[in-house]
Chains A and B, each alone.
Chain A
Amino acid sequence: MAFPIPEHEIHRRRFSRNLGVGLALVSFVALVFALTVVKVTQGDMGHANDAPGMLGSTVPIAPEEPAPAPASPAVQP
């Protein structure tokens, strides 16, 4: 597939802008992907793991033991 040849200065500028933005977006996606691969392989997932509810989270979703029931006012002196 070939790109249409821009016929006017305005079209050339518009084409260069669209191409530039497209390449920038593709590069950004590639960079995020590479960064993710590096972070996962290095085990450096500190940010994600710190979020409650994530696997391997250091923050408990719910307390392990049920909280003790409050003492009944009747048995208090």
Chain B
Amino acid sequence: MTDIRSFEGPKEAGFGDFVQLLKPRVMSLVVFTAMVGLLVAPVGLHPVVGFTAILFIALGAGASGALNMWWDADIDAMMRRTKGRPVPAGMVQPGEALAIGVALSGISVVMLALATNLLAAGLLAFTIFFYAVVYSMWLKRSTPQNIVIGGAAGAFPPMIGWVAVTGSLSVEACLMFMLIFMWTPPHFWALALFMNEDYSKAGVPMLTVTHGKRVTRNHVLGYTLALIPFAIGLGFTSIGGPVYLAISVLLNAEFLRGAYKIWKRDEVIAEADKYKVEKAVFRFSLLYLFLHFGALLVEAVLHAQGLGGW
């Protein structure tokens, strides 16, 4: 006789599962960088409008995260890092993830347009499209350069924050974009070096899988070198200043040192110490970005006091 109590139907998702669908950790980075982009802009914005703008930029990022989880549920289920996500874990049905992603995309773009301006809303719509379609659907499974091009999606928030206030693009907004855009490859490849198994199993053509770890190590150093001019160059614009420049020089020196150490190592040494350097560089890369945008915020506060800047 079958025990009907042992039947396992679809799991019941709690509110937290739907929050997880929006990738809250990515959203926190988006909130921070968009907020900095908004606060360092040369004109002011009413706090309610500013809050609304940041909220819907973050919600747009969350929506693209939900669309990404809907599309990538099959490979997420194969990777240790992602198999606990709500869709592969069976907490949220794929159709629900798609519906939430599409609905929140529409709401966030329309609300940003109403709160600020059409250019900011257009950039947000493009960001969602770029992450969900260009990165997730087209690039991620087809080219080892997925991280490089897909990094643009994560680089847009400070630019959108700036445009939400000023209504136009500028060299400062573009350099903030480039800072995140160029930071993404060494950040993710440092992770891929010690998470290689996951990507191989899922068949995601990460550089470590298609070209090997030696080439990846070369790329980490190359992209770190290419990142430095943008990071330091931002210090010479209207939103930079001596404080930002000093912090940026120190951070870039340390990041370059880490990238150099990664480049110098080979697999035998890395496996022997369980990728100690790669893990340290990955962790430092998070701090690197946080402190760069934090320094911009410090400069903005100093500007407001009549200090800082050039």
Contacts and interface: CB of A to CB of B under 8 A. Distances in A.
Interface of A: 9-10, 12-14, 16-17, 19-21, 31, 34-35, 37-39, 42, 47
10 closest Cβ pairs, A-B complex: A20-B15, A13-B14, A16-B14, A13-B12, A10-B12, A16-B15, A38-B48, A17-B15, A34-B48, A38-B46
A31 B53 CA distance: 11
B152 to A, nearest CB: 29
B15 A35 contact: no
Contacts, number: 37
A12 B49 CA distance: 36
Q: Is the interface of B mostly helix, strand, loop or mixed?
A: helix
Contacts of B16: 16
A19 B19 CA distance: 13
A31 B52 contact: yes
Given A13-B13, A16-B15, 19 more contacts: A12-B14, A16-B16, A17-B14, A17-B15, A17-B18, A19-B15, A20-B15, A20-B19, A21-B15, A31-B55, A34-B48, A35-B48, A35-B49, A35-B52, A35-B114, A38-B49, A39-B49, A42-B46, A47-B113
A13 B18 CA distance: 11
Interface of B: 12-16, 18-19, 46, 48-49, 52, 55, 113-115
Contacts of B52: 31, 35
Contacts of B115: 35
Contact of B13 (A17, A31, A34, A39): A17
Contacts of B113: 47
